[in-house]
Structures are given as structure tokens and as C-alpha cells.
Amino acid sequence: MLQFRVVLPLLAVVSVGLAASTHGQRNTAESYTAIVNTVVQGIEGLNTAILNANSKPTQANAVNLGTTAIHLVNVLKGATDSVKAGPSIAQADGENALHTLQNEEPTISHGLSILASAKAKLEALKVPEFEQILCQASKNIASETAEFIAASKGKLPASEQGDADKVGKNIEAGFPQVLKAYNC
């Protein structure tokens, strides 16, 4: 249990430090689709961690869930920085990337619903600081998603901005149920 208390804050510091050290060093010619693909990988990683913690509620899986959620926060921060540093997003690139994100909406919605309903079994593990870390990560993922969409809208063609708004709101929509379930 001590491991969770020490490792998670340490990982958070290390991850933020790594994100800061790479700020401004990304390939500004990177396509929006490539940037979105890193976000999708982060979303799918979190979903897998949720499913694992739900189907096999162990302290190790709870710790992995916490670290994976923190990782997604940093992925979103990095994606936002990449969009801000990059050029305007071409129409086809924007359409393709937003379609990819739309396809992820059911994945994150399903995962967050499971996470909310798994509260009792995860809390029964008595992992120190689990609820606090999960609450903070959930709030940060929701806010960083909003930041990512706002940065994207600034670079997307006007015709794609409405779709970006819908995608962002749909991804963020699942988080209130988690925050309520865990008394955040």
C-alpha cells in the first residue's frame, strides 16, 4: 500500500517534467490525425485499465488505473501543445481526425460508466489515496479535453469547428458520473 502512496505522486512529477522538457520540441509539421491518434491510444489505455480493475479488482490493477489516468492527462497536455505549435489544420486532416475521435466516444463513455459502477469493489481494496488521485485525474482529463478542443478549434477550418465542439462535449460527458460516484 505504501507503494501506491509513493509511486503515484512521483510518476505525476516525472510525467509533468517530461511533458515540460519536450514542450516546443515536437514536430510542428505533425498531422492533426497523428496527434489525435496519440490521444486515442491514451483513451484506449485508460479504458483497458478500467476494464482490468473492474474484472480483477487487485491493488496492482488499481495502481495501474491511477497511473494510466495520470498518463492520459499528460498525453492531452502534449497534444494541446502540439496543436498550438503546429500549422492550421487542413480540411481533410481535420475531418479524418475528428471522425477518429467520434469513433472513440462509445469507448470512453462505456469505460467511465463501468468505473462509476465499480466504486464499491475498488474502494474495498483500501488503496491509499486512490479516490483522491482518481478524482483529480478525472477532473484534469475533462479540463484538458476542453483545452485540446479549444486549441483544435483555433486551427480547424470553420466548417469543422462545430463537429469539434460535439466531440469534446461527448467525451467530457461521462466524467460527471465518475466525479459524483467517487464524491469528488
Per-residue confidence (pLDDT) for residue 14, from 0 to 100: 39
DSSP state of 25: -
Per-residue confidence (pLDDT) for residue 30, from 0 to 100: 81
| The domain defined by 30-181 carries CATH number 3.30.300 | no
Q: What pTM value is reported for the model?
A: 0.83
Contact predicate 83/155, CB 8 Å:
yes
Provide CB contacts within 8 A for 179, sequence distance 6+.
135, 138, 139
DSSP state of 129: T
Average pLDDT for the chain: 87
Tens digits of per-residue pLDDT, 16-75?
Answer: 444 443 443 444 458 999 999 999 999 999 999 999 999 999 999 999 999 999 999 999
Cα(154)–Cα(146) distance, rounded to whole angstroms? 13
Find the mean pLDDT for residues 108-125: 94
